[in-house]
Structure 1
Amino acid sequence: MEMDIAKLEFDFMGTSVICRSGSPLILADLKKVSVSKARAIIVLAADENADQQSDARALRVVLSLTGVKEGLRGHVVVEMCDLDNEPLVKLVGGELIETVVAHDVIGRLMIQCALQPGLAQIWEDILGFENAEFYIKRWPQLDGMSFGEVLVSFPDAVPCGVKVASKSGKIVINPDNNYIIREGDEILVIAEDDDTYSPAPLPVMHMGVPPNIPSPPKFPEKILFCGWRRDIHDMIKVLEAFLAPGSELWMFNEVPEKERERKLTDGGLILSGLRNIRLVHKEGNAVIRRHLESLPLETFDSILILADESVEDSVVHSDSRSLATLLLIRDIQSKRLPSKEVKSPRRFAGFSHRSWIREMQHASDKSIIISEILDSRTRNLVSVSKISDYILSNELVSMALAMVAEDKQINRVLEELFAEQGNEMCIRSAEYYLYEQEELSFYDIMVRARGREEIVIGYRLAHTDQAIINPSSKSEVRRWSLDDVFVVICKGK
């Protein structure tokens, strides 16, 4: 353990990492790490392939922890594999337990990112501790103010919700503008750190009259899943909630069709109950070009390349397979798409202009591909070519676990933002908030967005790849373009 940790190339900033070996099922071993005095305890999923084995072990560890005579001072964060096992662990551990269902989080995140291009990078920023993340704090000086006023009271943070004292500490994300902050209420914000922000006097606003453009209607979509995940039934349920009626979900993998229906039904999916999506089954190997060419790859709105269940125990093998599938799909798409429709040359500015990469980048303008990556080293291969978005699943789950270990309340926030109901993170066109070349401050745009019951938390300028979350100089007036986009928290439709 110590040798592996020594190889990590980052600054521990004074934190000591102390390793101990033993079994969490043996109370004498738990005493070696003073488990009763820990501020937080993280129970990681085991390496076993089967969800049941890993979750059964997690349940035994939770039982062992609740048996510590001295009691536990901190909360326990449990990484689980199967959503169906979550209630049992919570039943055993009670209020001490916070669960993060790894597969479920990544499945939902992949779907959100497939429907909202560019969202993957924003979630990576928010879940990581290097940029902006969620914090909850009490500010007595804000009592009596409306949430609309609180929204523009922090120069170095973006308020997103309120922990309501009168509702037993329930966190309300994106509350009504007229909600009055009362004694005991705490403010949920996105900020760089818990000590980098504080309220300031209300800024001068130049709001003007915003454009009156209705929210975009939902159209039927055509989506392809390459590969088979153990929680694919849960992903289909999420898609059913998100997509418009008449949508199609094509499933392409090596699992025989009859067996698929059995697995989906065993997972709790009622196939006859699907109203918005129609399932189309295709059998084949996603790394064989001939099999992929039998699919209408140029017609899909989004393609999700899943870390296939058959190879998920080997990180390198799984990523190699995902990468091969990605390159094959993009190459087939680029051969089928007419070159005269090509646009957005900026997408590959500064990168290799070899024709094969350029053709694939043209294809990426037409359909979104989200690749599930397990090894952070694969990220460089995917990101440099600019032909796919990616979800770095292991790293994102680790970030979520660390965030909940730091503050268990944040789990409620993540659960709502990942769920198919409630509020969600979205990317919106600038045309909903401003006119071409209009000069406004970020505060002005935040206030305009409240008319649409949205909270703007950041933006991405045209011709740039990186979104800026919780920007500094929110009062500074600047000229905006309709090609800019804004990152918002909005009520799910």
Structure 2
Amino acid sequence: MADQEGEVDSPFWRAIRAIVNPFEDDFASVPTRIVSCFLASIGMVFFGILVGMVTQTVEDAVNSFPNMRIPAIVSNHVVVNGWNSSAPLALSKVVGTGSKVAIISNHPPDEVIAEVRDKLGSDRGGKVYVRLGNPLVKFDLERVRAMDAKTIVFLSDSSYRENPDSKDVVSKTLAFRGSSNDFQGNLVAVVNDQRDETLVESILNGTQAKSVQIVNANKLLGRYLAQVVVQRGLNSVVREMMTAESATKLDFVQAKSGKGLVDELYSNIDRYNSLAGRTIVGYVDPDDQVRISANDDFRITSATKLLVIGDGSRRRAEGVSASGFGVRPTETPENVLVCGWRRNMTDMLTELDETLPPKSR
């Protein structure tokens, strides 16, 4: 017994006891207690880092099996409910900001992963998780932790050419409303039909979501086509802005940040030199509508938001110099010939009727 007590009181075991229990009563020296507490703190921090590394490794390993029906370990993410040919382009904008995205689709996961890798590459800032399942089934939605997401996007499982309506989006939103009692994030639905737009909006407004946004792809396309007719060269400018060049970035800025803009008429301002490194192409009116007519007698205030091209650097946005482009719509009557027809063409014709000069045909 004496030998065992001697071993316990040896310097080695005293050091071990000091680290494990820094407040042990037989440590009469204050410096000894301070050193032992310091060493114990370092040990706990190291152990915490080790546990975190192991947890992250296990999480990545689980999420790397898209073909399996294992739930994704993720939260505060974006859920993409559905998949089609236009999804990767939209997804690249979301993932580029460093967000986490979980995709639930009945398409083969290998095909979805191949499209994601082809469009996004390996230099993206966020993470993408793919799970096989039926977006209409609550159990499958739990695989992508839909109720823990910050945003859920509803997409059609086929392109517009394959399926011009949005019946599957209506079905998905109906199924989601029946199981979304606890969801308080944001909801976005992409539809192709005016009737479906109204129906989907009424369905999602019945949930407890923070916000509901319905995107009618056909209506947006109609408005864009009409604006291309009115403004020569606009399409080439937009194509420039969709590149990775930061100088062609489309953004909104406050008018008060510019030089000599407040209290001026929009038609009188210098659109090229009032904001350093930016070109003014439009403004937001009191009804939150974007206007790009250069001859508007709109009085700019300090709260007015201006639509600009450029990132604030001295390098001029390349898109502005596109051949034939001008921000001033034509003022003389024009004759427009539409070659071809498609569904919901009235969206484009309505927009043209409002933007073309009087007596145009």
TM-score band by shorter chain is 0.3 to 0.5
Higher RCO, Cα 8 Å, sep 6+:
1
Greater Rg by CA: 2
Q: TM-score, normalised by structure 2?
A: 0.48
Q: TM-score, normalised by structure 1?
A: 0.37
